[in-house]
């Protein structure tokens, strides 16, 4: 019983949760400007279950890890891919869901997901993502322009 009491006492009274609200349906803002989405609902439920006050702190995706390391936030709840490099900087929980990547083009486009078809084209990616890293490492050297955006709404 005493170890359970000690563990409960270690839970902070307040937790600041960093999130990038530009990634619907996981985290975004509704018409009233309120944070909504799977990650937001999950964070609220976790906070409720551990009986602590949680506040959300909005950050661009590429600022979340630096904010955590600088102690501006206490946790991250934002669809953040687990990579070897990120694991060297921060601790992750088990993976919650698979968020596969897709190349999306206009409906009538003849662009194919091949290097030959993409060469000379511009591919937009979210800044700070694994997709940006992949594009810069594998596609940019082959003549595909990678354009990084601060958020999905840009």
Q: Which residue range is the domain that position 65 belongs to?
A: 2-89
User: Over 80: is that where the pLDDT of 70 sits?
Assistant: yes
pLDDT digits (tens, 9 = 90+) for 125-139: 988 888 999 999 999
Query: Is 26 inside any structural domain?
Result: yes
74 and 120 assigned to the same domain: no
Tokens of 120: 């000379």
Residue 66 lies in a domain: yes
Task: Note whether residue 94 is domain-resident.
Answer: no
Number of domains making up the chain: 2
Alpha-carbon span 149 to 70, nearest angstrom:
24
For the record, the structure tokens of 56 come out as 């959300």
Q: What percent of the chain has pLDDT over 90?
A: 69
């Amino acid at each position: 019983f005493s170890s359970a009491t000690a563990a409960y006492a270690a839970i902070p009274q307040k937790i600041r949760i960093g999130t990038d609200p530009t990634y619907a349906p996981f985290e975004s803002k509704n018409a009233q400007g309120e944070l909504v989405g799977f990650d937001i609902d999950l964070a609220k439920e976790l906070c409720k279950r551990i009986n602590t006050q949680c506040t959300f702190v909005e950050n661009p995706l590429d600022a979340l890890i630096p904010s955590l390391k600088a102690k501006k936030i206490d946790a991250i709840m934002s669809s953040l891919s687990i990579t070897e490099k990120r694991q060297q900087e921060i601790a992750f929980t088990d993976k919650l869901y698979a968020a596969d990547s897709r190349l999306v083009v206009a409906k009538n486009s003849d662009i194919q997901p091949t290097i030959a078809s993409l060469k000379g084209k511009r591919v937009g990616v979210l800044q700070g993502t694994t997709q940006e890293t992949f594009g810069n490492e594998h596609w940019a050297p082959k003549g595909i322009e990678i354009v990084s955006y601060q958020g999905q709404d840009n």
